Amino acid sequence: MKLLLLRLFYELSAVGDKDTGPQQEVKVALSFGLAIATLAQSLCHMLGAVFASAIVYGVRPNTTDSLGVNQLNGVNVAQGFGIEFLATFQLVLCFIATTDKRRSDVAGSAPLAIGLSVGLGHLAAVRYTGCGINPARSFGPAVIMKAFENHWVYWVGPISGGLVAALVYDYLLHPKLGDLTERLKVLCYGPEDAPAQEPLLEGCSAAQWTKG
């Protein structure tokens, strides 16, 4: 199963922007300053998960285990939260580190590393929480089976893990260039006031374009 997930992630890595769920959307919003599209994209993930779960349930209505409803097994809610937090933390941290275009020291395949990270999270968490690490994936089966006991664990845990991973990477492991003042200038006045070396604004300066 882990090899299947690894292969699937590798094959789909060229599709879209490699996001894997709402916890990644929140990470992107925090790490790269995108906010508006986050809600819409997360909603699409959730609706897609519900639709996929409905299809599986329609095909195999007598085999509810095939939906993969996440449930706590032998752990309390605090422990379940911690497991989901840590599993998502390592996944999102791997995602950011291997896809950061600012870095020139990253070698190897990012999809391979991320796929291995997904497998690691499953190996560590599946026995205790069913391994959510993706709120949308947990949400879809829960809606179809109406199984919402302790469901908040599968939202708060992964989203918190993703947020902390983004903060740790951006402010401790590989700090972004520019201080808060420069970021506020970009927000208030546009990219022309941003430093030229800011990777996300590279090529976007108003000075590079001729007014018509």
| Residues 156-199 pLDDT 10s | 999 999 999 988 888 888 776 555 566 555 555 554 444 444 44
What's the burial of 212, exposed, middle or buried (CB within 10 Å: 0-12/13-18/19+)?
Answer: exposed
**pTM higher than 0.75:** no
| Residues 2-56 pLDDT 10s | 444 554 445 444 444 445 566 555 555 555 555 556 677 788 889 999 998 899 8
Going from N- to C-terminal start, the domains of the chain cover 2-175, 177-212
Which tokens in the block code for residue 34? 């995108």
Q: Which contacts qualify for 163-168: CB closer than 8 Å, 24 or more apart?
A: 163/26, 163/27, 163/30, 164/85, 164/89, 165/27, 165/88, 165/89, 165/90, 165/92, 165/93, 165/96, 166/27, 166/30, 166/31, 166/92, 166/96, 167/30, 168/93
CA end-to-end distance (rounded Å), the chain: 56
Contact 130, 147 (CB under 8 A): no
* Topology adopted by domain 2-175: Glycerol uptake facilitator protein (1.20.1080)
